[in-house]
């Protein structure tokens, strides 16, 4: 079903167009997965895949696979500074503070797994701030973005 037609305007003139297709489903597993193109655009494909694979493993009782996948996603979320994802994963796993190893909790509710899936479809920028080189720089030396884009900080 056609849900929308999007037109890109450049200088007030149409520059490109795309159709947005909607597929309706009652299948929670299909409707809560993050779209691969959205994940790629947001730079979170690997983390989203690890989270989904962890949930899938939990559902079939493969605790070893779930541990490995959630451990990977947890490490990536921490490296990005994404505390929201860290907290979501910790709803379904226990972490050994000494070894860092994660294991599924003994009693994981389906709602907690659905929460991980559903929330993983919400896109948000989680990039760590870049630092400016020099106090008077108006653009980032790393990526060239302007100082006021919300990703950068001055020390």
Residue 99 CB burial class (10 angstroms; 0-12, 13-18, ≥19): exposed
- The domain total for the chain is 2
Closest by CA to 130, choosing from 116, 144, 110, is 144
* 134 within domain boundaries: yes
Would you say residue 51 lies in a domain? yes
Q: Coil, helix or strand for 131?
A: strand
- Does 76 reside within a domain? yes
CA distance 43 to 125: 9
Considering the domain architecture, whether residues 34 and 89 belong to the same structural domain is answered as: yes
pLDDT digits (tens, 9 = 90+) for 15-35: 888 888 888 888 776 666 667
Q: How far apart are the first and last CA of the chain?
A: 50
- The verdict on residue 3 lying in a domain is no
Q: What does pLDDT average to over the chain? A: 78
Domain membership of residue 148 (yes or no) is: yes
> What are the φ/ψ torsions at residue 115 (nearest 5 degrees)?
-60, -45
pTM assigned to the model:
0.53
Please indicate, yes or no, whether residues 68 and 134 belong to a single structural domain of this protein. no
pLDDT in tens, 41-61: 665 678 888 999 999 999 999
DSSP string, 84-113: HHHHHHTTTEEE-TTT--EEE-SS--HHHH
pLDDT over 60 at 124, yes or no: no
Which domain range does residue 68 map to?
A: 26-119
Say yes or no: 99 and 43 in one domain.
yes
């Amino acid at each position: 079903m056609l849900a929308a037609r999007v037109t890109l305007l450049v200088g007030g003139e149409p520059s490109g167009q795309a159709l947005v297709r909607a597929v309706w489903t009652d299948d929670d597993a299909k409707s809560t997965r993050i779209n691969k193109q959205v994940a790629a655009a947001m730079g979170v494909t690997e983390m989203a895949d690890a989270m989904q694979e962890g949930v899938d493993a939990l559902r079939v009782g493969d605790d070893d696979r779930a541990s490995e996948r959630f451990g990977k996603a947890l490490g990536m979320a921490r490296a990005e500074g994404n505390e929201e994802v860290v907290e979501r994963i910790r709803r379904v796993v226990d972490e050994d503070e000494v070894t860092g190893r994660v294991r599924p909790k003994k009693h994981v509710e389906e709602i907690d797994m659905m929460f991980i899936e559903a929330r993983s479809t919400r896109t948000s920028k989680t990039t760590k701030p870049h630092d400016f080189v020099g106090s008077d720089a108006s653009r980032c030396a790393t990526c060239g973005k302007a100082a006021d884009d919300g990703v950068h900080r001055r020390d």
